[in-house]
Amino acid sequence: MPASSPPSSAPILYSFRRCPYAMRARLALAVSGIACELREVVLRDKPAELLKASPKGTVPVLVLPNGDVIDQSLDIMRWALLQHDPAQWLQPECDTPAAMEALIARCDREFKADLDRYKYPDRYPGTDPLAHRQAGAIYLAQLETRLSATPAPSSLLSSYLFGSKATLADMAIAPFVRQFAYTDAEWFRAQPWPALIRWLDTFTDSARFKLVMEKTASWIPATAGVRFPPN
């Protein structure tokens, strides 16, 4: 089904489909229902408009109708959810928002560093990818412990990190766990992490994840992007 045109006054989202940071932004915008103009970029040929909005040249970047720019994925998530949070991602059932933010911070610091060196060892001369896989596994085991301690809403459903429903933490962390898992899927699925594997499968099988991963053509400057989320 072809994507519809975005509203003329919509925020502009510069994104790259496979980037886990950009996945975060699209997930939050999708659940909030905020219509955007999605501009899918080619990272090896970054458009001047992206670099003008955010000289650091990474995605996601959200340009608001008033010209303000948000160029950090978590900030985009929080902005969208503060506008409209129908699934209550900002309100964990268990523990506190501060605990949720701390778990995300560990993902973005230590776990992301280990993920990069495990998945892309050629970018880090002298690194031992298996050592970083083992270091990353420590964080994943902590997620397994948290998920195992949280009752699932039914025997057919996954538990989540902060209760019986998804939160900001689940949606911010899952794209990076997905990337780690797919680096060596056979190894990942052989680990003693049944709750974590079920949680990840629930995430990747969800209609919302499939929606945010729909392919769109690369944006051509001086043309309109596509509406996101689609009608």
Count of beta carbons in the 10 Å neighbourhood of residue 179: 18
Q: Does 43 reside within a domain?
A: yes
Per-residue tokens: 229:
């989320």
Query: Tens digit of pLDDT for each residue in 135-165?
Result: 999 999 999 999 998 776 665 567 999 999 9
Chain-centroid distance, C-alpha 78: 13
Q: Could you list the residue range(s) of the whole structural domain that residue 198 is in?
A: 97-206
Q: Which helix (H) or strand (E) holds 37?
A: strand 36-40
Q: Which amino acid is at 17?
A: R
CATH value at residue 61: 3.40.30.10
Q: Does 20 reside within a domain?
A: yes
CATH value at residue 152: 1.20.1050.10
185 and 105 in one domain?
yes
pTM equals: 0.94
Query: Tens digit of pLDDT for each residue in 88-142?
Result: 999 999 999 999 999 999 999 999 999 999 999 999 999 999 999 999 999 999 9
Q: Does 6 reside within a domain?
A: no
**Distance between CA 201 and CA 182 in Å, rounded?**
12
Q: What is the total count of domains within the chain?
A: 2
Q: Does 78 reside within a domain?
A: yes
Q: Does 3 reside within a domain?
A: no
Q: What are phi and psi of 190, to 5 degrees?
A: -90, -5
Tokens 């900030």 belong to residue: 75
